[in-house]
Chain A
Amino acid sequence: MENNVLLEIKDLVVEFHTDDSIVHAVNNVNITIHESQTLGLVGETGAGKTTIARTILGILPRPQGKVRQGEIIFEGENILAMNESRLRRLRGNKIAMIFQDPMTALNPIERVGDQIAEAISLHNKVTNAEAALRAMDMLEMVGIPRERFGEFPHQFSGGMKQRVVIAMALACRPRLLLADEPTTALDVTIQAQVLEMMRDLKNKLNTSVLLITHDLGVVASICDSVAVIYAGEIVEYGTVFHVYDNPGHPYTRGLFGSLPELDTDKTRLKPIKGLMPDPTNLPEGCKFCDRCDYAFDRCFKDSPPVVEIEPGHVVRCFLAGKEGE
């Protein structure tokens, strides 16, 4: 069932300018998110995932972050062309973001309820009392008793803080939620609870989610589709079923291969050799060529094309669809 397109990122290129060099964080990325879709964006640290999310909201660090080219179309408008006040009406309202570290994401000297209420007041013409009531409703929605409205962040544990952050993000019923590694800083059991809560809420509120993570298990948990990002490029994209059953890109295969398996008797883990290339000095040709087991001459010189190996499942590789060659 094809839903409408909610957000479309076209040919995005983002750089960071430091004293010594230019970091090529995002290199020609194309992503489409539909209504009611949960897209997982998987990659290593430094692959460019967070940068993409921040660019969508227009909160790249200034003055270092620069968008070199591209468009991000949301509800018919190009976000990258919007002025600051237009962007502000979007943030927290139509598109919301939750961050990785719940311990530092909340203002330590403001009451938790007030911080949620702030998100509501910013985008709705309501009285303070109204906003507070709605904030309390949000607290309950994420499993926190409404009486805790007046408490401060340090009085909550990590998992509960993250719930507050989620409540804050969903307070205005955004159409798109950008979740940047929301469970990475949490214990595994808490992680499961928070993910379950997120799944319930996104279904209930019909919110699309861009879930950024490095954890393939989390993606399997709540995502419909997955995009694999490497050195600022999308190297594979498809539904979770397709990609997990039949990973097309050598990097994706490496990621799955490096997971420990419970049912086989292995003595050593199998990591992908090498490191991600230096983003200030990216190689020509395929960016994965240095670490790829299957690389041949052409990989080092030309950029591989995007090939569809199954309906809706694409891979950026010269060897895509040519198994056995």
Chain B
Amino acid sequence: MIRYVLKRLLWMIPILIGVTLIVTILLDLTPGDPARQLLGNFATEEQIEALRVELGLNKPLIVRYLKFMAGVLKGNLGISYFTHESVTFEISRRFPYTLLLVVISMLIAIITGIPTGVYAATHQYTWKDNMSIVLSLFCVSMPSFWFALILVQIFSTKLGWLPSLGIDSWKSWVMPAISGAIGYSATLARQTRSSMLEQIRQDYVVTARAKGQTERKVIYKHALKNALIPIIVIVGSVFGASLGGAVISETIYAIPGLGNYTLSALTSRDYPVVQGSVLFFATLYSLIILLIDIVFAYVDPRIKSQYSRAKKKKERGAEPLPAGRSAQ
């Protein structure tokens, strides 16, 4: 098991290098000169050239890239062209907002989505199930940014209950979290429902009933536990997706998070910020996926035994029993 984790971590390194390489190359290919952008339209050529030397933009791409990577190893993700602050510092200042937003949204999505899915699966063929399917599809088909705007219009503009911009108090988090959660809640509901339905029709569920187990325990103790295993993976990918969706939420609600920051850095050609930010997101996402895979392998004994040394026990099944008993 440890070996598997180490192997995955080792593979992460070339992949992350690949990501930074691609981003750097792409940034270099874009039209638009950061120096020109910084100084504005009325700067002279000498001023622009001077700034380019200062920022190191006159050096060849490969040199710039290696310098960046060398910095990464020391924990230094570069200096922002605009604020002259360390990118690492900016990230550490802004990421907590993004993280909080994503975590709250995920919690809402899990708490509302999974039970809905279970409920729908256990009430299949009734109107409750059909309605939940339609409702989930509605929520999944709705542009989350549109839903966000509607929430703002109702709760902020018309009713004045919640603030629409920035972060002042706990109230500021309500709308962003809900609009961020709604699509994922519906996705989780749908996936949980189909996973449950698949488990409910399995033979071991019939066995459990034939043992005299109550229907409630059959569903929750047997079927649900099995059904939740693939859902773990879904939760992981939803978490990753909501990291991306944070960009939108933060823009709409003017939350000073990392997504917002990356977007504005892209438009203003603040290369170091983009490089550092993308690397940060990629690392975080890869770690989350790895974590999910570890949890998944741990929770499913079939997968767990593939990795642990309990493999030896499997062999035992083929050995004959002590004398007198028939072997199988």
Are A105 and B213 closer than 8 Å at their CB atoms?
no
B300 CB within 8 Å of chain A: yes
B229 contacts which chain A residues (CB < 8 A)?
A: 109
Are A154 and B301 closer than 8 Å at their CB atoms?
yes
Are B212 and A152 closer than 8 Å at their CB atoms?
no
Complex formed: what's the CA distance from A93 to B209 in Å?
A: 12
Q: Which of B10-18, B71-79, B185-193, B199-207 contacts A (4 or more CB under 8 A)?
A: B199-207
B159 CB within 8 Å of chain A: no
Among residues of A, the one whose C-beta sits closest to the C-beta of B210 is: A97
B53 CB within 8 Å of chain A: no
B226 CB within 8 Å of chain A: yes
* Shortest distance from the beta carbon of B204 to any chain A beta carbon, whole Å: 5
Are B305 and A107 closer than 8 Å at their CB atoms?
no
* Shortest distance from the beta carbon of B296 to any chain A beta carbon, whole Å: 12
Are B207 and A155 closer than 8 Å at their CB atoms?
no
- With A90-B212, A104-B202, A122-B211 known as contacts, the answer to whether A157 contacts B317 (CB < 8 A) is yes
Q: Scan residues 119-146 of chain A and give those whose CB is less than 8 A from a CB of chain B.
A: 119, 122-123, 143, 145
Are B125 and A63 closer than 8 Å at their CB atoms?
yes
Complex formed: what's the CA distance from A191 to B35 in Å?
A: 81
A154 contacts which chain B residues (CB < 8 A)?
A: 301-302, 305
* Shortest distance from the beta carbon of A48 to any chain B beta carbon, whole Å: 18
* Shortest distance from the beta carbon of B119 to any chain A beta carbon, whole Å: 17
Among residues of B, the one whose C-beta sits closest to the C-beta of A154 is: B302
Complex formed: what's the CA distance from A59 to B213 in Å?
A: 12
Are B211 and A91 closer than 8 Å at their CB atoms?
yes
* Shortest distance from the beta carbon of A258 to any chain B beta carbon, whole Å: 30
Are A156 and B317 closer than 8 Å at their CB atoms?
yes
B204 contacts which chain A residues (CB < 8 A)?
A: 104-108
Are A109 and B125 closer than 8 Å at their CB atoms?
no
Are B305 and A143 closer than 8 Å at their CB atoms?
no
Complex formed: what's the CA distance from A272 to B209 in Å?
A: 37
Are A151 and B313 closer than 8 Å at their CB atoms?
yes
Among residues of B, the one whose C-beta sits closest to the C-beta of A84 is: B215
* Shortest distance from the beta carbon of A283 to any chain B beta carbon, whole Å: 32
Q: Which of A21-29, A158-166, A204-212 contacts B (4 or more CB under 8 A)?
A: A158-166
Are B210 and A57 closer than 8 Å at their CB atoms?
yes
Are A92 and B317 closer than 8 Å at their CB atoms?
no
A196 CB within 8 Å of chain B: yes
A8 contacts which chain B residues (CB < 8 A)?
A: none
A99 contacts which chain B residues (CB < 8 A)?
A: 203, 206-207, 210
| Contact mask for chain A residues 173-208; partner B; CB cutoff 8 A; 1 contact, 0 none | 000000000000000001001101100000000000
With A99-B210, A152-B302 known, 20 other A-B pairs at CB within 8 A are A84-B215, A88-B212, A88-B213, A88-B214, A90-B212, A91-B209, A91-B212, A99-B206, A104-B203, A106-B204, A107-B208, A109-B299, A110-B222, A118-B208, A123-B212, A148-B316, A155-B314, A156-B317, A157-B317, A190-B328
Residues of A within 8 A of B (CB): 57, 59, 63, 84, 88-93, 96-97, 99, 101, 104-110, 118-119, 122-123, 143, 145, 148, 151-152, 154-157, 159-160, 163, 165, 168, 190, 193-194, 196-197
Q: Please name the 9 residue pairs, one residue from A and one from B, whose CB atoms are nearest each other, closest first.
A: A92-B211, A91-B212, A92-B212, A104-B203, A159-B328, A152-B301, A97-B210, A107-B204, A119-B211
A-B contact pairs, 20 of them (CB 8 A): A89-B212, A91-B209, A91-B212, A99-B206, A101-B203, A105-B203, A106-B204, A107-B207, A107-B226, A109-B229, A109-B300, A118-B211, A118-B213, A122-B212, A154-B305, A155-B305, A155-B314, A155-B317, A157-B317, A157-B318
